Structure 1
């Protein structure tokens, strides 16, 4: 078994840094962590659904931008 100190680097480390920053932003905004938040399971699911819908909108907007660039390029 190897035990050592691993310095964060790469894509995974950047994502972990973003997660930590979002956690702090949430604590600052809502005064609590996700683990301590008293929402019901249904409320969590509704919130997650709303986030997923937002993500779909962002993805569609990006796809449309790519399509428009391609159309201008091949125009």
Structure 2
């Protein structure tokens, strides 16, 4: 995998490959596994959405203090 984060690679591929984009929107875990060989754990939920010209999403990440005390040891380079 290149030095770019997985998130950047996924976005770039979705911009370039409409079939991948549609699969990503429908079944993101399978799309990522098929395209990048990265299998996300079963306990990780992932939703992919596409912003539009006048419809945007603001995603609030978990509070780092909460993440530090959470169970599980998932390390993803996102």
Q: TM-score with structure 1 length normalisation? A: 0.28
Would you tell me which structure has more helix in proportion to its own residues? 1
Q: TM-score with structure 2 length normalisation? A: 0.27
> Comparing both chains, which one has the higher relative contact order based on Cα–Cα distances under 8 Å and sequence gaps of 6 or more?
2
**Is the radius of gyration larger for structure 1 or structure 2?**
1
